[in-house]
Structure 1
Amino acid sequence: MPGQVRAAPACPGGVVYQDDDRDGRHDPGEPGVAGVRVSDGVDIVETGDDGRYRLAARADRPRFIVKPPGYRVPDAANGLPDFWRAPDAMGAGCGDFALWSDDARRGDASFAIRIIADPQPKSAVDVDYYARDIVEPILAASGTGDAVADLGLSLGDIVNDDLSLYPAMIAQTARLGVPWLHVAGNHDLDAGAVDDAASLATFRHHFGPDTFAWETPQASFLLFDDVVHMPGGSPSYVGGLREDQFRFIEAYLATARRDRLLVLGVHIPFFDTGKGRESFRHEDRERLFRLLEPFPRVLLLSGHGHVQQHAWHGPSTGWHGRQPLHEYNVGAACGAFWSGVADAEGIPDATMSDGTPNGHARMDVDARGDYRLAWLPARDASGEQAGMSLHAPRVLRRGAWPGFAVYANVYMGDADSRVEYRIDAGEWKPMARVVQADPRVLATNLADDAAEALRAYDRAPEAKPSQHLWRGSLPTDLATGEHRIEVRTHDRWRGELRAATAYTLVEREAGVE
């Protein structure tokens, strides 16, 4: 059973081989693959010319391979990548790993990754939302024959404390037919775990190692648990790393290639999420950042916050590289925890507290290691929507003081984004970035407050200041009638994006209602 520590089996090593007939057996004539790294999350060894390695088994740690570029691994029975072995695996071949040659993923081709953060179902009902709101639209968007992606990442909080939902979530994600890798979150911990070391027994039982690496021709991925469980404490967890994780990371980075993109995937953001609160241990962050500084291209991916934002690390957060270090804090697949009023299909609105719609991200990496990012709202897995939402009053009095505005929530925007608007195809004018609540979320809060009964299973969360909101004042000295508002932004990865809405000016005589 998960959570129980068993004696380590007598499995001192094994072989990594090219499974030419893809039958899952090391048949005569199938060569070993040299130079493949094998690890238990602490120590790393390499296979010899014959594909064989030696690594003492540990009772509490899965054994895994660092998937090398140019290969893929078979699927396990549950549809996830078969790149690890449970610590209680017994019998012949307990330390053997099959690799399949994968010519389709060449180094000169672009590589697509789907990124899901915080799907976080609390019940089978929420698993169904995840299936219909996230998984099935991705499948539909790729129904023209295009692959869903080359790789998938889930950045923690796979479930919301109910770990019995893991098999159902795995089954849904496996429908995508993509090698999918998982990171642990603070809601993936074993209830009643007495310490941090015991907190991920169930996660490891289903997903394998909590700290590992994976390589493609275009990028190297370093994925690890960054939730330090502190049972009985307040708070009960903090962002950081264990000493054994540093041992693995240091060993891996010492020989990792520097001519490709290095992607780190975690759950808790590396930046502090509140003033005066060390939500990620600064000492651990600075130690990790020092290890990353020799790499010219690094991207950090995190989740956890159920908002979306970009952070650019520099000396104030312990980063001393030649360029700012980019962290993309990915919005939640469950959005606002699967809350809000349901639509005609019975799926909650789930807009996040910063006004970002729930959904998932897509990243494309080219042969040079340059990456492009996009946020794809739920049921828009092809990315056809404008990448922003607008809010403006419907009607204003002609000649009124021009203190009312159009707001643009640009989901992938940050402080450097340029956002402009124009009225009736006139001159483009800059919009001002404002760090405040999105009026659309405030309106939902007010509607929930005014309702005499719950409008949904859970009401939408209270609006929080958005990091990607812009404001433009609406003129009231134009002719009566409807006026078109256009907004454009230059997305650093997708180019120009546009959206439009309208408002109407009406005449009112003084004293006349």
Structure 2
Amino acid sequence: MRSHLCFLALSLLGAASGAAAQSLPAPCAGGVVFEDGNRNGRRDPGEPGLAGQRVSDGERIVRTDADGRYTLPPRDRSSQFLIKPAGYRLAPRGDSGLPDYWLNLSLSAPPPLKYGGMPQSATTCRDYGLIPDGRGADSDLRVLVFADPQTKSAIDVDYYRRDIVEPLRREHSGAHPAELGLSLGDITHDDLSLYPKLNAVTTSLGVPWLHAPGNHDLDFDAKSDEDSLLSYRHIYGPDTYAWEEPQANFVVFDDVVYRPGQNPEYIGGLRPDQFAFLESYLASADKRRLLVLAMHIPLFDAAPGRETFRHGDRERLFGLLRDFPNVLVLSGHSHNQKHVFHDASTGWMGAKPLHEYNVGAACGAFWSGVKNADGIPDSTMSDGTPNGYARLRVKPNAEYALAWYPANSKAGVSAQTLKKGASTEYGDDSGGALPRNGAINRYMSLYAPKVLRHGSYPIRGVFANVFMGRDDSRVEYRLDGGEWKPMKRVSQPDPALLAENARDDEATGFRGYDRAPTATPSAHLWNAPLPTDSALGEHAIEVRVFDAWQGEQRLSTSYRLLEAAP
């Protein structure tokens, strides 16, 4: 039916307007959402239309009728998409392996852009096939969350493959590691020609993967914010959309407002059409499910007095979310890791604080630092968090759990060690990998002096960098199996990274392609003093963390007390 309508419309237009009309797309205004029983991506005889399904152009939302038909007049340079309902999945697009749920509409000649932009449309209508999914709402939903892969070159894409994706594939031995994947922007670092290579790596996991754009995914030669994501959307489709699973609803959106010629060149915020879509979608969203908002720029300010995300837009967004009891915000951009609980101080007026998890970067500190034996840069972030990815698990009752997974090669720790949470000790032969003076596992790293003088003034202590630490985290330590005591949370740089900065400064040649990042105060660092009046010899240091989602975790290291003569 769709093809007949398109052909008729194009024929009439051609007769009326002559050769000039031949360059225009067929003015279809809809299609059919159907059950794709044979999973081939097209509607075959006997495959029924599905009523009540939602299709949007990023501003308006329409529903299919009893026969699965929808009508949505085309809007120039928009991206039409299907809101995937719970209980179904989508076939992959043949050209990228990404879920096939969208159609770009470019009715007029696109502006000339370095990376091509959005080509003029060949058609303005399409059908959407939904494949019944046997998974019900009684099982947990597993989600992989990648922030800022941020590849600058094909070399970086290979780091991403070997450090993040390939270890995941090996760990799961061919089985799917999750039911859904999210990338939170800065998919690449300004070179948009790398998207096909990146997609080939990511989709090798066999997981339906959704993307949000970041400030390094822009067409910087675009003259306006409206045109700044045309090349991105040519590959990934809509920049703002919704996706539903039985356990959770996801809203993924562009929150980078491009301001060419201004300083700063971009700021966090939302457009009027995005608010229109959100208002329409949230009006009928199931409040019993967890609502996950996925974006690039965080909602919180990077520093006091610095408006990272426009406060007026944040206030309006919080107003739309106020009556939703279960909301989780996932953001990237900072190349650090942090948990923020929004309350009245940031304009949140919901019944309980709004949790925003600012996810650490897959590329860490932009693929920088000393390389390990496999040729992969250390890339520890400036807050001392090893690069890696997060996992989100959503229970049927909307409860969720989060975990951070350091990348395969961090600090010389094998994938097996990190997976099991075991500790690894480091000495002077660690080749510059972090940390040298301490230990690391999946949950934290420890840094302590190796030797102290017996009887010296006790000003040196042990530091615990708890990668998923929060303001309310309980972190304790004990010496030589004694009494557990609380550690004190401190706002200062990770000493292991400070030491790495010093080694970079002292080096007479390049230790890596790029230096390790300059250490900045960490949001998840704890400290405790080490006594110097104990017996001579080695003393065990044990630290335990009570993780909000993973339970109690422990890690050990040691230090020695020696006599010294003046």
Which residue does 1:26 correspond to in 2? Answer: 43
Q: Structure 1, unaligned stretches of length 5 or more?
A: 1-5
Of the three residues 440, 444, 448, the one matched with 1:392 is 448
- What is the rounded CA distance, in whole Å, between the counterparts of 1:425 and 1:456 in structure 2? 40
Give the Å deviation of 1:383: 6.4
Q: Write the letter of the residue equivalent to 2:457.
A: W
1:153-302 equivalences under 5 Å are 153-302=182-331
What does residue 454 of structure 1 align with? 510
1:141 matched to 2:205? The reply is: no
Give the AA of the match of 2:394. V
Q: Decide whether aligned partners of structure 1 residues 255 and 7 sit closer, same or farther in structure 2, where only a CA change above 3 A counts.
A: farther
Aligned partner letter, 1:350: S
1:434-453 maps to which residues of 2 (within 5 A)? 434-453=490-509
Matching residue's letter, 1:132: R
> Where in structure 2 are there 5+ consecutive unaligned residues?
1-22, 106-119, 409-414, 422-440
Q: Is the alpha carbon distance of 1:8 and 1:233 closer, same or farther for their aligned partners in structure 2, counting shifts above 3 Å?
A: farther
1:8 and 1:57 in contact (8 A); partners too: no
Aligned to 2:4: none
Q: Distance in 1 between matches of 2:365 and 2:504?
A: 14
- Kindly indicate whether residue 139 of structure 2 is the aligned counterpart of residue 109 of structure 1: yes
- Determine if the alignment matches structure 1 residue 80 to structure 2 residue 98: yes
User: Which whole-Å CA distance do the structure 2 matches of 1:160 and 1:29 have between them?
Assistant: 46
* Distance apart, 1:34 and its partner CA: 1.4
Q: Which residue of 1 aligns with 2:55?
A: 38
Q: Distance in 2 between matches of 1:146 and 1:466?
A: 36
Matching residue of 1:342: 371
The separation in 1 between residues aligned to 2:500 and 2:179, in whole angstroms, is: 38
Aligned-partner Cα distance in 2 for 1:376–1:484: 26
Assess if the C-alpha contact under 8 Å between 1:313 and 1:326 holds in 2.
yes
Q: Report what 1:419 is aligned to.
A: 475
Query: Partners of 1:241 and 1:15 in 2: how far apart?
Result: 30
* CA apart distance, 1:7: 5.2
Instruction: Return closer, same or farther for 1:192/1:90 CA change in 2, 3 Å cut-off.
Output: closer
Larger Rg: 2
Write the letter of the residue equivalent to 1:130: Y
Q: TM-score w.r.t. structure 1 length?
A: 0.96
Structure 1 equivalent of residue 158 of structure 2: 128
**Among 116, 119, 127, the residue aligned to 1:96:** 127
Residue type of the alignment partner of 1:315 = A
Q: 1:335 to 1:152 in 2, by over 3 A?
A: same
Higher RCO by CA contacts (8 Å cutoff, separation 6 or greater)? 1
Using the alignment, how far apart are the partners of 1:147 and 1:236 within structure 2? 40
TM-score by length of 2: 0.87
Q: 2:149 aligns with which of 119, 130, 148?
A: 119
Preserved CA contact (<8 Å) 1:138 1:382: no
Is 1:305 equivalent to 2:305 in the alignment? Answer: no
User: Which is worse superposed, 159-168 or 79-88?
Assistant: 79-88
Give the secondary structure class of the aligned counterpart of 2:371: coil
Q: Deviations over 1:48-86 (max 9, x none)?
A: 121110001122011110000000000011110001112
Partner of 2:532: 476
CA distance in 2, matches of 1:383, 1:194: 50
| 1:352 match: secondary structure | coil
- TM-superposed deviation, 1:409: 0.2
Do the aligned residues in 1 keep the contact of 2:368 with 2:515 (CA within 8 Å)?
yes
Q: Any conservation in 2 of the 1:8–1:58 contact (CA below 8 Å)?
A: no
- SS at 1:252 equivalent: helix
Which piece of structure 1 moves more, 331-340 or 47-56? 47-56
Aligned-partner Cα distance in 2 for 1:454–1:11: 59
Q: Secondary structure at the match of 2:291?
A: strand
What is the distance in 1 between the residues matched to 2:420 and 2:247? 23
CA distance in 1, matches of 2:394, 2:230: 33
Q: What is the CA deviation profile of residues 192-221 of structure 1, one whole-angstrom value per residue up to 9, with x for unaligned ones?
A: 111100100001000000000000000000
- Is the 1:376–1:383 Cα contact (8 Å) retained in structure 2? no
Q: Give the SS at the match of 2:165.
A: helix
Q: CA deviation at 1:146?
A: 4.3
| TM-aligned CA distance change 1:262 to 1:485, over 3 Å | same
SS of alignment partner, residue 34 of structure 2:
strand
Q: Work out whether residues 386 and 498 of structure 1, in 8 Å CA contact, stay in contact via their aligned partners in 2.
A: no
For residues 136 and 265 of structure 1, the distance between their equivalents in structure 2, rounded to whole angstroms, comes to 24
Query: Alpha-carbon deviations, 1:106-148, whole Å to 9, x = none?
Result: 10100000000000000110000000000001111111x6421
Tell me by how many angstroms 1:507 deviates: 1.3
1:420-463 superposed Cα distances (whole Å, 9 cap, x missing partner): 00011111010000000000110010000000112110001110
Instruction: State the one-letter code of the partner of 1:90.
Output: A
Q: 2:34 touches 2:47 (CA, 8 Å); kept in 1?
A: yes
Deviation (angstroms), 1:244: 0.6
Cα distance in 1 between the residues matched to 2:442 and 2:218: 37
> Contact 1:386–1:497 at 8 Å: present in 2 too?
no
Shift of 1:415: 1.1
**Aligned equivalents of 1:160, 1:271: Cα separation in 2:** 23
Asked if 1:58 corresponds to 2:51, the answer is no
From the superposition, tell whether residues 161 and 35 of structure 1 become closer, same or farther in structure 2 (CA, over 3 Å).
same
Q: Find the aligned partners of 2:419 and 2:561 in 1 and give their Cα distance.
A: 36
Calculate percent identity across the aligned residue pairs: 58
Matches within 5 A, 1:360-379: 360-379=389-408
How many residues of Structure 1 are paired with residues of Structure 2 in the alignment?
Answer: 502
> Cα deviation per residue 1:129-169 (whole Å; 9 max; x = unaligned)?
000000001111111x6421000000000000011111111
- How far has the Cα of 1:36 moved from its partner? 1.1
Deviation per CA, 1:358-416, whole angstroms, max 9, x where unpaired?
00000000100100000000014846334000000001111111111000000000110
Encode CA deviations 1:328-350: one digit per residue, 9 max, x unaligned.
00000000000000000000000
- Name the structure 2 match of 1:69: 86
CA contact (8 A) 2:145 2:182 kept: yes
- Alpha-carbon distance in 1 for matches of 2:499, 2:175: 39
Quote how far apart the aligned CAs of 1:89 are. Answer: 4.7
Residues 8 and 59 of structure 1 are in contact (CA less than 8 Å); yes or no, is this contact kept in structure 2? no
For the 8 Å contact 2:371–2:378, the answer to whether it is kept is: yes
With 295-304 and 6-15 compared, the bigger mean Cα shift is at 6-15
Residue equivalent to 1:3: none
Q: What residue in structure 1 maps to residue 65 of structure 2? A: 48
